[in-house]
Every structure is written in C-alpha cells, then in structure tokens.
Amino acid sequence: MSYSIDLKNVFSLKGKVALVTGASAGIGLGVARVLAVTGGATVYALGRRDAAEYQGELDAIAAEGGTVIPVKGDVCSEASINDVFSRIEQEAGGVDILINNAGTTLPKTVEETSHEEWDFIIDTNLTSGFLCAKRAFAHMKQQNWGRIVQIGSVVGHKGAIKGHIAYAATKSGQFGLTKTLAITGAPHNITSNTVAPGLVRTPLIVVAHGEQGVKDLEAQIPLGMSEPEDIGMVSLFLCTEAARHITAATIDINGGVYTH
Ligand SMILES: NC(=O)c1ccc[n+]([C@@H]2O[C@H](COP(=O)([O-])OP(=O)(O)OC[C@H]3O[C@@H](n4cnc5c(N)ncnc54)[C@H](O)[C@@H]3O)[C@@H](O)[C@H]2O)c1
C-alpha cells in the first residue's frame, strides 16, 4: 500500500511564492525571513521603504539561504497593490501564499479620533487585506491551492488600552474577514487563518505605548515579549501542507498574557 500524504515534505514551502505586506520592518520582515529560510519559499516583501534602507537585513537573509525580494508599494492604494500582483504574476506565476501584515496604529480615543484618521487606519489595516485577498483569490482558485494569513492582534479579542479605537476595530474586523475567506476558499483548497500576537519587539510598539509603557506591558507577560520570528514560525506552519485542515482559526501568540 502507499500513503496519500507525503510526510517527508509536509513542512516545506519549496516551489511556493509568498507575498508578505508591510515587510520592510518588524513582524513582516520576520515572517518573510522564516518563510524563505525555513520554508524555502520565494518571498516578495512589500514595504514602503526603499530596499537600500534595509539592505543589511536582506543580505543577512540571503546569507542564510533565503530568497526575499523587496518590492516597494503602498497597501492603501489599490493601484499600487495591483502593480505588485501584476509584477509577481509576470515574474513568478502568482501569489500562492498571502500574509496580510501591514498595519499601523493611533493612540487616540473615540473622542480624539477624526473621521479621516479612522479611515486611514481602516484602509491600512483592514481594506488592504481585503484588496490583496481579492487579487490573490483568482490565482489560488485557478490552481486549487492557496494560503492566507492575517496578522491580527490580541486587541481584536479584548479591545485596546488607552484609546487605539480605530486599531481595535480593524483587529476585530480581521477575524470576520479571515473566517469568511475560509468558507469561500474551502472548496478550492484555500485556507485562511489569523495569527494574533500580544506584544512583539518591533518599532510599532514604541509608537503605540512609549518606552516606559513597553517595559510596563512586558512585565505582565508570563513568557515575556515575542520576537518577529515567533510570529513567522506559526505563520509558516499555517502555510504548509501540515496545516491543510486548519482554516477559519485564530492562533494566539501572546506569551500567556491573555487566556480565553
Ligand atoms: N508589534 C506588536 O506588538 C504587535 C502586536 C499585535 C499585532 N501586531 C500587528 O503586526 C503587524 C505588523 O506590526 P509591526 O509591529 O511589525 O509594525 P511596524 O510598524 O514595526 O511595521 C509595520 C510595517 O508595515 C508597513 N506599512 C505600514 N503601512 C503601510 C502601507 N500603507 N503600505 C505598505 N506597508 C505599510 C511599515 O512600513 C512596516 O514595514 C500589524 O498588523 C500589527 O497590528 C503587532
């Protein structure tokens, strides 16, 4: 007899093409590194920074044997997203794996947040994921295989401290986007999941909480602060064949700070 699951390769992403948004720094760059170095995927890193600004990090990934291709773009612009997808389709055939990571925050309460600021955070954190998934779906359906991971947040479960109202709304909204993409994608072998970090060592957290605020928050986390690669390693798993029956799920990576 022969088995139907190829166990030797279930954790490999060799031959797959991934797009990680917001990947010129922070969690996105960490996820790109893991998908490329550990998984063996060809990874396009969509970011606002010029490649020259993070060439050192890209060189370090290349030295580890990973292929991460920087591509400049703005996830708030549908035209820019379409340009990025068209380039990947031309160069590599299409996006097999989509990691919706780009995000930003604003430490303002409901009374302090203007309509324009609200729209900006929704566009960056939520509409971007919808637009990228919309574009990725066609290729994934055609080849009957795809993986979508949203980088959400513990805030999506429990709300935010000290304002961040628009951010919290986007992080809860990602759960609905994930689950509905999962149901729509299932007949085409497309899975869709959310990874929900707690506190991760990146530039965003100092903007969000200040230096002292970060120290105070870290002191409350049983396992301490996560590194970007902690988010990358779980995202990698969700993108492999090993996770083929995990969809519409939320995987918490918060060091035990929030249990539910
Ligand atoms: N750092 C944390 O503690 C933490 C916790 C929970 C969730 N998250 C989530 O993780 C994701 C990444 O956060 P991070 O901490 O790495 O942030 P970061 O600010 O360190 O990096 C965010 C990345 O997104 C990019 N980006 C922002 N707006 C963009 C746009 N319009 N177009 C293209 N790229 C854009 C930035 O250039 C940057 O590369 C976010 O969705 C965030 O909500 C972070």
- For the segment 97-140, what is each residue's pLDDT rounded down to a tens digit? 999 999 999 999 999 999 999 999 999 999 999 999 999 999 99
- Verify whether ligand 1 is closer than 6 Å to residue 106 (CB atom): no
What are 228-260's pLDDT values in tens digits?
999 999 999 999 999 999 999 999 999 999 998
Is it the case that residue 2 has pLDDT exceeding 80?
no
Q: Is residue 43 part of a domain?
A: yes
Q: What is the mean pLDDT of residues 201-229?
A: 91
Locus of tokens 């999506």: 156
Q: What is the mean pLDDT of residues 175-183?
A: 98
Domain range enclosing 71: 12-253
Q: What per-residue confidence (pLDDT) applies to 162?
A: 83
Q: Is residue 97 part of a domain?
A: yes
For atom 43 of ligand 1, the residue with the nearest CA is: 103
Q: Is residue 138 part of a domain?
A: yes
Q: What per-residue confidence (pLDDT) applies to 72?
A: 97
Q: What per-residue confidence (pLDDT) applies to 133?
A: 98
- CATH (domain of 247): 3.40.50.720
Q: Is residue 157 part of a domain?
A: yes
- Verify whether ligand 1 is closer than 6 Å to residue 48 (CB atom): yes
Report the residue among 124, 157, 202, 257 best suited for mutation to probe ligand 1: largest number of ligand atoms under 8 A from its CB.
Answer: 202
Structural tokens at position 199: 């506190």
What are 60-97's pLDDT values in tens digits?
999 999 999 999 999 999 999 999 999 999 999 999 99
Report the residue among 154, 194, 204, 216 best suited for mutation to probe ligand 1: largest number of ligand atoms under 8 A from its CB.
Answer: 204
Ligand 1 atom showing the smallest separation from residue 30 Cα: 16
Q: Please, what is the average pLDDT of the chain?
A: 96
Is it the case that residue 161 has pLDDT exceeding 90?
no
* Closest to 154 in 3D by CA, of 200, 108, 101, 186: 200
Q: Is residue 136 part of a domain?
A: yes
Ligand 1 atom showing the smallest separation from residue 123 Cα: 31
Q: What per-residue confidence (pLDDT) applies to 144?
A: 98
State the total domains in the chain: 1
Alpha carbon distance 209, 207 (integer Å): 6
- Verify whether ligand 1 is closer than 6 Å to residue 47 (CB atom): yes
Q: Is residue 4 part of a domain?
A: no
**More confidently predicted of 205 and 27:** 27
For atom 35 of ligand 1, the residue with the nearest CA is: 22
Check: CB of residue 24 under 8 Å from CB of residue 47. Answer: yes
- Verify whether ligand 1 is closer than 6 Å to residue 69 (CB atom): no
Q: Is residue 258 part of a domain?
A: no
Q: Model confidence at 16, in pLDDT bands (50, 70, 90)?
A: very high
Q: Which of the following is catalytic: 3, 44, 54, 167? A: 167
For atom 40 of ligand 1, the residue with the nearest CA is: 103
Q: Model confidence at 188, in pLDDT bands (50, 70, 90)?
A: very high
- Verify whether ligand 1 is closer than 6 Å to residue 202 (CB atom): yes
Catalytic: 258? no
- Verify whether ligand 1 is closer than 6 Å to residue 32 (CB atom): no
- Verify whether ligand 1 is closer than 6 Å to residue 173 (CB atom): no
3-state secondary structure the chain: CCCCCCHHHCCCCCCCEEEEECCCCHHHHHHHHHHHHCCCCEEEEEECCCHHHHHHHHHHHHHCCCEEEEEECCCCCHHHHHHHHHHHHHHHCCCCEEEECCCCCCCCCCCCCCHHHHHHHHHHHHHHHHHHHHHHHHHHHHHCCEEEEEECCCHHHHCCCCCCHHHHHHHHHHHHHHHHHHHHHHHHCEEEEEEEECCECCHHHHHHHHHHHHHHHHHCCCCCCECHHHHHHHHHHHHCHHHCCCCCCEEEECCCCCCC
Q: Is residue 259 part of a domain?
A: no
